[in-house]
């Protein structure tokens, strides 16, 4: 556990040094200013809905982009500079290294998501709205989505370059966000082989659509407790499976 903690702390520091917090400041400025720019364009609940929708969209997009950018470069940078060799000759296993990287990146992303969530709530209040439980739940679901993407990025980063990691992760994110459409497309395909391939993609790729609760937050619709539990378990299982695969790949790599 001490090895995981050490790697996580160093990864968190590296993530923060990457000037990620500047993104949060820019986000906050845009979000706060949008409150005043949007105010003349809408009245009543419409203004609150627009601010909530824009804020949650920014949280999801910036959070995922931070995970992809930071995750795709950190591991490769240590491998390229042979720094990973200096880490692994210490009493730190490769599994601890992978888990430490995951928790370090997620700590930085969690901090960013919380700051952006607070800024979104502040913008809603300035716009004349109220902070709802649906807004808090939507931010939580976004964090689960970021965790899944973080495990995916770490998996790709163990065996390919930062550019390809970024590309593969972006493709998985796009396909995962349209996971439901893949299933519908598979059902409409006449060929059994094509349907089998679409079904395979549907079950292998992450179903990121289950983490999108912006609609419920914007319109203040109830969020069933079962959805919270199912999404949390799904994220935990998917992250665990990808991190295990990342470890199995990383274990076979030789560093000289």
Cα distance between residue 147 and residue 11, in whole Å: 15
Would 171 be classed as within a structural domain? yes
* Global pTM value: 0.86
At 191 the pLDDT is: 61
Question: If you count them, how many residues does the chain have?
Answer: 256
The tally of domains found in the chain comes to 1
At 1 the pLDDT is: 66
Taking each helix axis as running N to C, give the angle between helix 45-80 and helix 20-38, from 0 to 180 degrees, rounded to the nearest 10: 170
Residues of the chain above pLDDT 90, percent: 19
Would 227 be classed as within a structural domain? yes
Would 206 be classed as within a structural domain? yes
For residue 13, give its domain range.
2-251
Would 114 be classed as within a structural domain? yes
**Integer angstrom CA distances of residue 64 from 43, 47, 219:** 32, 26, 24
Would 22 be classed as within a structural domain? yes
For 21-24, the CB contacts below 8 A with 24+ separation are 21/112, 23/62, 23/66, 23/112, 24/62, 24/112, 24/115, 24/116, 24/119
Closest Cα partner for 35 from 146, 126, 159?
Answer: 126
Residues with Cβ within 8 Å of 199's Cβ and at least 6 positions away in sequence, in order, are 183, 186
Closest Cα partner for 211 from 239, 191, 232, 186?
Answer: 232
Contact 141, 213 (CB under 8 A): yes
pLDDT under 70: residue ranges of the chain: 1, 18-21, 24-25, 28, 32-45, 80-91, 180-195, 199, 253-256
Would 256 be classed as within a structural domain? no
| C-alpha torsion angle, residues 184, 187, 189, 194 (rounded to 10) | 100
At 76 the pLDDT is: 75
DSSP 29: H
At 113 the pLDDT is: 87
Render 103-135 in DSSP notation, one character per residue.
Answer: HHHHHHHHHHHHHHHHHHHHHHHHTT----HHH
Render 175-229 in DSSP notation, one character per residue.
Answer: HHHTHHHHHHHHHH-S-HHHHHHHHHHHHHS--GGGG--HHHHHHT----HHHHH
Tokens of 232: 């949390």
């Amino acid at each position: 556990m001490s090895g995981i903690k050490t790697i996580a702390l160093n990864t968190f520091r590296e993530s923060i040094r990457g000037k990620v917090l500047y993104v949060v400041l820019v986000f906050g400025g845009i979000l706060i200013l949008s409150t005043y720019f949007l105010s003349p364009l809408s009245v009543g609940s419409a203004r609150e809905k627009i601010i909530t929708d824009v804020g949650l969209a920014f949280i999801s997009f910036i959070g995922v982009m931070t995970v992809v950018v930071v995750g795709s470069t950190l591991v490769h940078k240590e491998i390229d500079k042979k720094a990973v060799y200096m880490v692994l000759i210490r009493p730190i296993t490769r599994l601890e290294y992978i888990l430490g990287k995951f928790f370090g990146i997620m700590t930085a992303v969690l901090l960013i998501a919380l700051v952006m969530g607070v800024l979104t709530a502040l913008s809603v209040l300035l716009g004349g709205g109220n902070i709802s439980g649906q807004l808090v739940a939507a931010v939580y679901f976004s964090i689960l989505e970021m965790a899944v993407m973080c495990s995916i990025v770490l998996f790709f980063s163990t065996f390919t370059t930062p550019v390809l990691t970024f590309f593969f992760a972006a493709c998985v994110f796009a396909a995962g966000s349209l996971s439901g459409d893949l299933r519908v497309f598979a059902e409409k395909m006449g060929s059994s082989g094509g349907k089998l391939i679409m079904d395979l993609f549907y079950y292998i790729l992450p179903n990121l659509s289950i983490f999108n609760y912006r609609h419920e937050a914007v319109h203040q619709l109830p969020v069933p407790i079962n959805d919270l539990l199912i999404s949390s378990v799904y994220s935990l299982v998917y992250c665990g499976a990808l991190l295990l695969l990342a470890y199995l790949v990383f274990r076979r790599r030789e560093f000289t």
